Amino acid sequence: MSEIETQLLTIDDAHELAPLVAACVQERKRGAPGRPDQFYAERLLSDRTAEIIGARRDGNLIGFALFFDLPDPMTGRRTGQLNEMFVAQAARENGVEQSLIEALTAEAIHRDWCDIHWVTPDKPPVANSLAERFGRPAGWSVFSVPIVSR
């Protein structure tokens, strides 16, 4: 099996990221697969706060981890927040998840983060089991506050 390579993605990677984002949304929301949306992938990759690490095997993008670099008011340092990790179905359980976590951990060390908070959805259940495999409960609960337009 080929080696997994990880790196921060740039706007030039949008055409490869778009199908993975569509597959991620389809898996979470169920229903018909979404059409890959390169414009949306470009927006993600040019966001001023989010960053994305990609995982490649044989030159093909097979997974990504979307994260934020945030201030930590408890320590006065910075912390990372992993908001989304997705690996293509055919590439799962082959070390891609581990490679993405290792790449994010290397970023954490480089940026002197005190820790990484991993936000996972309730569905699909595999998301929580993956987080439990690599991390431990942090004593936090995550809630969504709906934004209603007036």
Q: Which domain CATH number covers 110?
A: 3.40.630.30
C-alpha–C-alpha distance, residues 98 and 122, integer Å:
21
Residue 78 sits at φ, ψ, to 5 deg, of: -115, 160
CA atoms within 13 A on the CB side of 90: 6
- In a domain, residue 127? The reply is yes
Q: What's the whole-number average pLDDT of the chain?
A: 88
Q: How confident is the model at residue 119 (pLDDT cuts 50, 70, 90)?
A: confident
- In a domain, residue 141? The reply is no
C-alpha–C-alpha distance, residues 140 and 117, integer Å:
9
- In a domain, residue 26? The reply is yes
Torsion angle, alpha carbons of 96, 47, 40, 143, to 10: 70
- The arithmetic mean of pLDDT across residues 17-37, rounded, is 81
- In a domain, residue 150? The reply is no
Question: How many domains are contained in the chain?
Answer: 1
Domain span holding position 25? 4-134
* Cβ proximity of 35 and 29 under 8 Å: no
